[in-house]
């Protein structure tokens, strides 16, 4: 990537902070904005330039990355009064890495195109661990030539073999929905497996060590399993954001007249986690829901 390119980064939370940090570590010039300025403090210390609004970031930069919380946040960041598309420079590239609604990605792409701006929807998977290690999976929708231009920057945030062009605007978000549907069902299996092992009197570390290497091995058991054993429910990915993602997938499934009962069940269990006050814990907090149903302390 041409190091003369000026990079904007909006959203410097659990995921975005690390992702932006990789760009800075590679020598990129970065302008940042976050609703809570203190969360960008570490990046500013590393050389990032603070901006007071998304519009201010757009005035200064050529390529803008965003990763915020909810579709409403995406809409505000791009289309609000102080949004990116109010001041973006023709010829710029905008890249939304939030997990958001496919239809919103298409809408943003159309408005951006009218302003002679290229748009990509590029949601990620891998949680806080993948963000810190630069090993995220990145699934991208939009113009393929634009994808190729941004690919060197994607490679600073994700593994080469986990970065994939999926198709036109919205395709990245649809692919992320496939990802979230799979994780939702898998997390039920993870917590039920560990609860069974606990009740059977097994050493759960030993259980994870062996089944995590066999046919049942998956990212969730190998990464979240050890956290659950340590009663570490800090968020790598918030329960409330996962509920949002599953809601998007269920809405899209309904629109396509597609029945996904497994996803609906997982969604209800995570809604229960929110009802119990655990919305700001990590998705591994599903264990606490199942443990409470079985009168097990967690």
Q: Which residues are catalytic?
A: 176
CB atoms within 10 A of CB 274: 17
Q: Are 42 and 21 in contact (CB under 8 A)?
A: yes
**What is the C-alpha separation between 173 and 256, in angstroms, rounded?**
15
Q: Kind of pairing, strands 158-167 and 6-10?
A: unpaired
**What is the C-alpha separation between 99 and 184, in angstroms, rounded?**
15
Place of tokens 């810190």: 132
* Distances, alpha carbon 284 to alpha carbons 41, 100, 187, 237, 238, in Å: 28, 21, 8, 9, 9
| Helical residues (DSSP H) of the chain, grouped into ranges | 16-25, 41-45, 54-60, 71-79, 102-114, 127-133, 144-157, 171-199, 204-211, 219-229, 239-255, 261-275, 286-293
CB atoms within 10 A of CB 160: 8
**What is the C-alpha separation between 112 and 235, in angstroms, rounded?**
33
Give the bridge partners for 138, in sequence order.
124, 163
**What is the C-alpha separation between 107 and 91, in angstroms, rounded?**
18
**What is the C-alpha separation between 51 and 141, in angstroms, rounded?**
27
Measure the N-to-C terminal CA separation of the chain; round to a whole number of Å. 47
């Amino acid at each position: 990537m041409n190091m003369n390119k000026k990079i904007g980064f909006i959203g410097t939370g659990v995921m975005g902070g690390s992702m932006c940090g990789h760009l800075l570590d590679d020598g990129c010039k970065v302008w940042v904005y976050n609703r809570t300025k203190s969360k960008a403090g570490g990046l500013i210390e590393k050389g990032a330039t603070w901006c007071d609004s998304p519009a201010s970031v757009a005035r200064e930069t050529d390529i803008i990355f965003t990763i915020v919380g909810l579709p409403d946040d995406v809409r505000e960041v791009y289309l609000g009064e102080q949004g990116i598309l109010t001041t973006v420079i023709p010829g710029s590239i905008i890249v939304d890495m939030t997990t958001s609604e496919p239809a919103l990605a298409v809408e943003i792409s159309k408005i951006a195109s009218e302003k002679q701006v290229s748009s990509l929807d590029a949601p990620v998977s891998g949680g806080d661990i993948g963000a810190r290690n630069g090993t995220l999976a990145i699934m991208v929708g939009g113009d393929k030539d634009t994808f190729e231009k941004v690919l060197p920057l994607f490679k600073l945030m994700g593994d080469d073999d986990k970065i994939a062009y999926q198709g036109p605007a919205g395709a990245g978000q649809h692919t992320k929905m496939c990802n979230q549907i799979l994780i939702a069902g898998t997390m039920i299996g993870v917590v039920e497996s560990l609860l069974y092992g606990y009740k059977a009197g097994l050493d759960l570390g030993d259980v994870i060590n062996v089944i995590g290497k066999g046919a049942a091995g998956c990212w969730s058991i190998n990464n979240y399993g050890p956290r659950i054993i340590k009663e570490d429910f800090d968020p790598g990915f918030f329960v409330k954001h996962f509920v949002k993602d599953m809601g998007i997938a269920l809405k899209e499934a309904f629109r396509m007249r597609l029945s996904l009962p497994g996803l609906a069940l997982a969604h209800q269990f995570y809604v229960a986690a929110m009802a119990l006050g655990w919305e700001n814990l990590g998705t591994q907090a599903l264990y606490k829901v199942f443990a409470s149903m079985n009168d097990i302390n967690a």
